[in-house]
Amino acid sequence: MLFHVRMDVNIPHDLPAAEAAEIIARERAYSQELQRSGKWRHIWRIAGQYANYSVFEVKDNAELHEILSGLPLFRFMDIEATPLLRHPSAVRDDDS
């Protein structure tokens, strides 16, 4: 299943800088591992915001939830996920 996911990050201003940096480093490693595995297919930063739009390809809702809740920044995020399916007018065969 494909999902379009918007993630808005809201790190508290009073979080110690060293702690924030450590969490961000873990987030980067985790997200890059998921990208290499093919589960996190696309990620785009939203200009001017600490937010992104991403596309995930996972088995089901439960797997997406497991991945998202495993994000080190999860407790600081507002997340909106939308399931996607192929449009009948799509011309590319490689986007399932």
Domain of 35 in residue numbering reads as 2-84
Beta-strand relationship, 2-9 and 77-84: antiparallel
pTM of this structure: 0.90
Are 5 and 43 a contacting pair, CB within 8 Å?
no
Q: Which residues pair with 83 in a beta bridge?
A: 3
44 lies in some domain: yes
Write the pLDDT tens digit of every residue in 54-90.
999 999 999 999 999 999 999 999 999 999 988 889 8
Closest CA to 40 of 7, 8, 13, 16: 7
Return the DSSP state at 7.
E
Task: Return the CATH number at 26.
Answer: 3.30.70.1060
Q: What pLDDT sits at residue 96?
A: 61
Q: What pLDDT sits at residue 90?
A: 86
Q: What pLDDT sits at residue 92?
A: 82
Cα(51)–Cα(36) distance, integer angstroms: 21
Write the pLDDT tens digit of every residue in 7-56.
999 999 999 999 999 999 999 999 999 999 999 999 999 999 999 999 99
User: Into how many domains does the chain fold?
Assistant: 1
Q: What pLDDT sits at residue 33?
A: 98
